[in-house]
Structures are given as C-alpha cells and as structure tokens.
Amino acid sequence: MADSTHVTPAQFPLPEEEDPSRRDVIMIAAGGFAAVGLGLGLWPLLDMMNPDASALSMATTEVDLAPVAEGQAITVMWRGKPIFIRHRTKKEIEEAKAVPLDDLPDPLARNANLPDNAPATDENRAGKNREPWLVMIGICTHLGCIPKGQAIGDPKGEYDGWFCPCHGSQYDSAGRVRKGPAPHNMAIPPYAFLSDTKVKIG
C-alpha cells in the first residue's frame, strides 16, 4: 500500500503580495521616464519645423521715410514682395480724392488694415492721418507683373499712378485699377507708422 504524503500549506508558502503603494511609485516613475524620453526624441523634429532667423526677419520690415521727398517713391521688399511707398504730391492726392467711386472697376479698398468691405476711397487707401504716404504691394492684380511708375522717368499711365506694360492695366495715384484687365486694386499690406518718418510693414 503506497504511502500517501500530506502536503501542508506551510511547506509551499504562497508568494507575498506586493505592496500596492510601492507598485504605484514604480509605475509613475516608469511613465515619467518614458514621457521625458519621448519629449527628448521629438524635440529635434519639432524644433526643425520652426522658421529660421531669415524667415523671421522677413515677417516685418521697418522703413525710414525721412529721405523720401514729396513726389518721390521707393521700393522695399517684404516677404519676398515689392512694396511701393510713394510720398504723394498735393496734386496726386487731389486727383485721387476727386474720383467718384462709381468710376472704379474695383470698389473695395483692399486694405489689410481695414474691414474687407471698406470702400476704395483715397482715405482708405492712404496712411491714416498721413494721406501723403501710400504703402502698397507693388504687384499687378492681373497676372502678377511689377507695374512701372516708381522710378523717375517710368511711365505712370493716364492717371499719375502706375502702368503695367504687360497687358496695359493702369492704376491711379491711390493704387486703384482704372483701366485694363486687372480685376482688383493693388493690395495694401498690414502696416503702422512708428513715428512721422518710420513705418513698420507686417
């Protein structure tokens, strides 16, 4: 007859249960290390997507207007676009103000500093409280050409403004299209005068 052995629980003790508070600390620490490691791994990728210094420098442009005499115009670059700045004469201002809005092919000011539905009056195209200054993006709205009229001797067209020789669009001294295939007035960029002789574009 086989000898049967009786196994008591004391001979094979069950493993002790792990302390719950210790387990929580270990899990939190492991999660924290994983989050830090993930952040360190992603940082170079995220940093690479930030614009570099040359792009940031083009976000705004400050222009000293002191050397620009009445009747003169300069061209500066902002975000890769030519910006026409003209110190208009009294004659040019009076001509622009005398134009009835009904005569304009595009009745909107196209001024980033005003609501989208602002009318294309001379006051809405020129600098606020600085009507001799006209600051606009010097790109023809037909096919993106650069109109003539900035330099001395450039043809200014029939309206003392700008003339695009590519397809014959003409703009007045407020940069509003008056003739030709261009559908819109030349756009006014966001800008603000920092002083009487300095303007910040962008």
- Stated as kind and residue range, the H or E segment containing 191 is strand 191-195
Assign domain 56-201 to its CATH architecture: 3-layer Sandwich (2.102)
Name the residue ranges covered by the structural domains of the chain: 56-201
Describe the strand order of the beta sheet including 133-137 as a list of residue ranges. 73-78, 81-87, 133-137
Q: Is 18 exposed, middle or buried (0-12, 13-18, 19+ CB in 10 A)?
A: exposed
Tens digit of each residue's pLDDT, the chain (202 residues): 455 565 555 555 555 555 667 777 777 888 888 888 887 787 777 677 666 665 555 688 999 999 999 999 999 999 999 999 999 999 999 999 999 999 999 999 999 999 999 999 999 999 778 999 999 999 999 988 899 998 877 778 899 899 998 888 999 999 999 999 999 999 999 999 999 899 999 9
pTM: 0.70
Q: Which residues form the catalytic set?
A: 167
